[in-house]
Amino acid sequence: MTRDLSITINGEEREFAVAEFRSLLDALRNEIGLTGTKKGCDVGDCGACTVILNGKPVNACLVLAVEADGGAVETIEGLQAAPDKPSPLQESFMVHGGAQCGFCTPGVIMMAKALLDDNPEPSEHDIRFALAGNICRCTGYTKIFDAVRAAADEMRKAPAP
């Protein structure tokens, strides 16, 4: 059985049909074609599928797409203002080596964005706590924490839009 949904995804209203049992992760990847959000464990343990739903970070593999009906979803694809203009957070990950294989990176960046949206001056503890649900097997986390800290500093200095 399918259901028609209307979800604002990265600022654009999208209408599509989805099976009622389909996860938000699978709907984003398969129905919408946004493959930046990664499927890791598919049970909510790794954080690779982190998106922002109605202002809060969620594991998209644990949310049914129908639960997002009428809501707003932000994915990694929505962070860039233009294809050649990464967000300050994405830029910081590149500059500070916060990504290696890149598989976990979209989820980590989306969780970091949610943190910085709520707390523009996070402590080291705040950063580590916020990212505790995102598993990275390559970086050892230090460069990820450095990238988030540097992005927070840079974003505070930037003029308001």
Return the closest-CA partner of residue 101 out of 40, 23, 17: 40
- What pLDDT digit, counting tens, does each position of 84-130 carry? 899 999 999 999 999 999 999 999 999 999 999 999 999 999 999 99
Do 11 and 71 lie in one domain? The reply is yes
CATH of residue 116's domain is 1.10.150.120
Q: Do the beta carbons of residue 106 and residue 28 sit within 8 Å?
A: no
Average of per-residue pLDDT across 54-80: 98
User: How many domains does the structure of the chain reveal?
Assistant: 2
**pLDDT value at 135 more than 80:** yes
What pLDDT is attached to residue 77? 97
Do 6 and 74 lie in one domain? The reply is yes
Position 139 confidence tier, pLDDT thresholds 50, 70, 90: confident
- How many Å apart are CA 17 and CA 3, to the nearest integer? 5
Average of per-residue pLDDT across 129-133: 97
Measured between alpha carbons, how far is residue 115 from residues 17, 53, 97, 111 in Å?
32, 14, 20, 6
Do 151 and 93 lie in one domain? The reply is yes
Which ranges constitute the DSSP H helices of the chain?
A: 24-26, 88-95, 105-118, 124-130, 142-157
What pLDDT is attached to residue 81? 80
Position 161 confidence tier, pLDDT thresholds 50, 70, 90: low
**pLDDT value at 159 more than 90:** no
CATH of residue 41's domain is 3.10.20.30
What domain range includes position 17? 2-78
The answer as to whether 83 is a domain residue is no
Q: pTM of this prediction?
A: 0.95
Lowest mean pLDDT among 22-31, 50-59, 62-71, 73-82: 73-82
- Greatest extent of the chain over all pairs of C-alpha atoms, in Å: 50
The answer as to whether 37 is a domain residue is yes
Average of per-residue pLDDT across 127-146: 95
- What pLDDT digit, counting tens, does each position of 47-60 carry? 999 999 999 999 99
* N- to C-terminal Cα separation, the chain: 44
Which tokens sit at 59? Answer: 């594991």
Q: Count how many residues are written for the chain.
A: 161
Do 66 and 93 lie in one domain? The reply is no
- What pLDDT digit, counting tens, does each position of 20-54 carry? 999 999 999 999 999 999 999 999 999 999 999 99
